[in-house]
Structure 1
Amino acid sequence: MQELFQRYQYGIFGGGIGLVLAILLLTIGFLKTLLVIVCVFLGAYIGLYLNTIGFFDRFKKLKILEEQNMENKTNSSVNQQVPGELTFSDKVIQKIIGFALADIDGLLTIDGGFFSNIAEKLVNTNNVTTGIQTEVGKKQVAVDMDIVVEFGKDIRNIYDEVKNVISNEVNSMTHLDVVEVNVNVVDIKSQEEYEEDSETVQDKVSDAASSTGQYISKQTSKTTRKAQNEVQERTEPRVE
């Protein structure tokens, strides 16, 4: 039955129209039937024209806006009922930045950090924040870092990519705006030179016990001097 209908569907459709016309002619007469046909075609034409100029889309948009307003009011009501505040520590922002920068071509390392594009992975994820300084506010973030770049690479492009990656990653995860990214290039090395200078993970572990005290002392002095310099240079916070 279904195959028969599909084969003769247009004929069946035309026959149905003919049947309707015959009933109209027999019941209301020729002139009234003609009037009905004219009104049907006129209504169809008006409907197509209004759809072409986007008349019906306006009502759809209004309905969508009303639904969004209702949803926003509901969310606002819920938020007002549950007070609180979301904050991020410097370490969280620094770690986001450290992971985000690991795949930038030409960026060998953050000075003091432990990732390498040559190895294409983080060597020590616990120290990914080393070498990254941040100032975190309630709405904004400012970033300072020293980097080592690969010889022969476009440093300006690396800097632009660093800014874009930091801004996008921090904003997507925290909704904080990155308002300032200061990058200081402290060294340039070839890949061969960097590989020779880089220590293996085992070397880091074996040397850690003997150098921990000296390292902490140096880092403490360095941090203290840097903090004092920043206090002298900046009298107002950079972020909100």
Structure 2
Amino acid sequence: MLTVDFDRLGVGPGTRVIDVGAGLGRHSFEAYRRGADIVAFDQNADDLAQVKIMFGAMAEAGEAPEQARAEAVQGDALALPYEDGEFDVVIASEILEHIPSDERAIAELVRVLAPGGALVVTVPRWLPERICWLFSDEYHANEGGHVRIYRADELRRKVAGLGMRFIHSAHAHALHSPYWWLKCLAGVNNDKHWAVTSYHRMLVWDMMKQPWLTRTAESALDPLIGKSVALYFTKPAVRRGGF
């Protein structure tokens, strides 16, 4: 389940990509499939171990071009161990809402992006997230949980304030919002509640089969209750020689 539009980012063979807060690697795997040189970056060693195994399996199965390179790197998003301008594309999906010092993290995302490169940041959307917080403290008040609810224009200003040019926004995963509302009402860790399990089965069926009905419904509902908002930026190219 992808939140990021890779066609819009122009990811392809030879593109240098870092997926900051990669988690279990869903966006990293797509970049690898497209032939990019991908770094899956996260602080969770257990998640990265699984990502590394999957990279190896993809290479063995021929699911990624031979020239593509993939690595899993553990580290701190507040101090990325890379040179300025090292990547053509920077992805930060569903990570900033977890970081108290989000402006430091954003500055690092911008720093490692090459001039002319693309940055995409996704976070939970304000309204669906606000409902989750209203229904359940357990949803967010835990170690490593969400520390803030963003408004899209607030996040846009934070990124654009570092010299980035905003180019596009999109919403995604509307069908997932009711699922999380149900979980918050039933108990975040109560996966056996009949409403939660029934809705989860529908989501799995939707992801596996991608039927026209649910795809059309989600596209129509995304602008209203999309669970995530994605903001796309580009880093202005450096002008040389005063021109």
TM range (shorter): under 0.3
Taking structure 1 as the reference length, what is the TM-score of the superposition?
Answer: 0.26
Richer in strand (by share) = 2
Richer in helix (by share) = 1
Higher relative contact order (CA 8 A, sep 6+): 2
